[in-house]
Structure 1
């Protein structure tokens, strides 16, 4: 099982851009996540094909379970 913290932003074309971080510390500190997302927007350090990131959309933990099937 693996977990990721996904930080989702809107870009200038109203598209969604996702920054994904492996193995987040849990429980997640919502205030810290909000501060980091605000800092990403303030620093204007990421660019997407739809332009700069302009607003926060969502943050979430995504959990992935893989079960191999023996053939």
Structure 2
């Protein structure tokens, strides 16, 4: 099982952009996530084809379970 913290932003073009953090420290502190997202916006260091990040859209913790199925040879 793996977990990923996804920070969701809006770009200048109005599109969505996601910054993912693998295996975040748990429990995830919503106040720390908000502060980190504010810092990312203030630093204005992420620029893509849709422009800079301009607003927070949300954050989510995504959990993924992988089960291997033995198929034999």
TM-score range, shorter-chain basis? over 0.9
The residue aligned with 2:15 is 15
5+ residue gaps in structure 2?
A: none
Say how many residue pairs are matched.
Answer: 71
- Backbone CA RMSD of aligned residues: 0.7
C-alpha separation in 2, matches of 1:49 and 1:63: 29
Greater CA radius of gyration, 1 or 2? 2
Partner SS, residue 66 of structure 1: coil
C-alpha separation in 2, matches of 1:11 and 1:66: 32
Post-superposition CA distance 1:21-45 (Å, at most 9, x none): 0111111111010000000000001
Runs of 4+ in structure 1 deviating by more than 2 angstroms, as ranges, are none
C-alpha separation in 1, matches of 2:8 and 2:23: 17
